[in-house]
Amino acid sequence: MPIAKEGLREIALATVVLALLAVLGIWLWWPAAIPIVVLWLWVLSFFRDPHRKRDFAPAELCSPADGTIMDITELAEYPPIHEPAVRVGMFLSLFNVHINRMPCAGKVLSVSHKPGHFLDARDPRAGEQNESTTLVLDPDCGLPGPVVVRQVAGRVARRIVCHAESGQHWPIGSRYGLIKFGSRTELVIPRRAGTEICVKVGDKVSGGITVLARQTTTSRNAAEALLRPEARITAGAKR
């Protein structure tokens, strides 16, 4: 199983510390080394980076993360979408793959990081109060936009890694970052007449594989037009 390069430091540190503990455990009482080895294997498993490839229809958005659907929330307005929207929140446990993937193909309009608290990622307040990184995407294929995807830290997750930058174009399902240890990922899309959420609360999803939503596509992408003037200026300044 491929390992995410972003986790090499943690794997190296865990290997050194757990190897010393395992040697001590074997010297004192050899069965004590068994849980230490299991813990080391879990660290390796946490940073697994499976190769995933799936073809999506132009109207489909894929899950940006592995995990469990915790909430599906209708929003009267959600900046920078500035129209009715729907938010799908996913909880990533300590046993899920923690790679984050692009929910659709498109251009990154902005990337913003917000310091915050470290509430349990399952807490309904976590999305608003916890440390987070937010990507705003101008989607391809006539999908309604902007599309917003958020990496939210949890009680254990204390480091968000995001490789996306304003102005870059990313294909759907491509890996753009990860959150180190249990966390939350959110997808926010415009709520239109043809919007179909393809999951329900409690469903297990796989990043880059599961179809999370379908939209009615148009002849052109109106994401930039939906941004308020001040938001367009900000997005342009960051490119």
Active site residue 166: no
Q: Where are the beta strands (DSSP E) in 99-231?
A: 99-101, 106-114, 132-139, 147-152, 159-162, 169-170, 175-180, 183-190, 196-197, 204-205, 211-214
DSSP category for residue 13 = H
Which tokens is 231 given?
A: 């938001």
The rounded distance, in Å, linking the Cα atoms of 189 and 205 is 17
Tell me the H-state helices in the chain: 8-29, 33-46, 126-129, 223-226, 229-238
Q: Which of 63, 132, 183, 206 is catalytic?
A: 183
Which tokens is 195 given?
A: 């919007």
Residues 105, 139 contacting (CB under 8 angstroms): yes
Question: Nearest-CA neighbor of 153 among 207, 92, 99, 70?
Answer: 92
30 CB burial (10 A radius; 0-12, 13-18, 19+): exposed
Q: What is the maximal distance between C-alpha atoms in the chain?
A: 70
**Active site amino acids:** 183
